Chains A and B, each alone.
Chain A
Amino acid sequence: GAVVSQHPSWVICKSGTSVKIECRSLDFQATTMFWYRQFPKQSLMLMATSNEGSKATYEQGVEKDKFLINHASLTLSTLTVTSAHPEDSSFYICSAYRDYLSNQPQHFGDGTRLSIL
């Protein structure tokens, strides 16, 4: 079964709304989680690395004030898209490692499809 849960799976909202997406590790603690974005017909791009108890590390070109990341516990990271606009419509996916130092693959959530009208 899923070890990383992402919620909601689909969001449709009006322009200007702030949207929060949750990423939970279900049966393990994740000090580090990753957030990716995928535009239609394109690949996944890393947005930021979420670190429990500290500030997230954002990739170049990603607005930290636009995409607020909070990793307040070892099992939950949230991504808030503030004042969302149509250009923010995308597929957002989070991931986490069960054991960050191991050579095992990371676990991905099922993604959140965000549509801004």
Chain B
Amino acid sequence: KQEVTQIPAALSVPEGENLVLNCSFTDSAIYNLQWFRQDPGKGLTSLLLIQSSQREQTSGRLNASLDKSSGRSTLYIAASQPGDSATYLCAGTSSARQLTFGSGTQLTVLP
């Protein structure tokens, strides 16, 4: 059964800093790997989706990488802003299109 782990659980950085969030998964037979953002009390916002055949995806200040062989993905956020403060979730998608979520990293960007 797929298990997804995210470290750190919480991260606090000053505005403008570049940062990396880590995600690891146990089953390399994922269909794709997704990163989401969740604001307090809200639903999910999809940030990036990396197909199993891809190594990375970029959107604006965000870059996500995928290394299936090591079971790892990273989300790189450049020039962080206070508005980036949220919980970031990674999720592995199975062949049945079900998502297994990590426990999330709670990011606080200090102005």
Contacts and interface: CB of A to CB of B under 8 A. Distances in A.
A34 B98 contact: yes
B89 A44 contact: yes
Contacts of B19: none
Interface stretch (A61-69, A75-83, A103-111): A103-111
Interface residues of A, number: 24
A113 B40 CA distance: 12
Contacts of B41: 91, 113
Nearest to B41: A113
Contact of A100 (B44, B49, B89, B97): B97
Contacts of B104: 43
B12 to A, nearest CB: 16
A108 B34 contact: no
Interface of B: 31-32, 34, 41-44, 46, 49, 51, 89, 91, 96-104
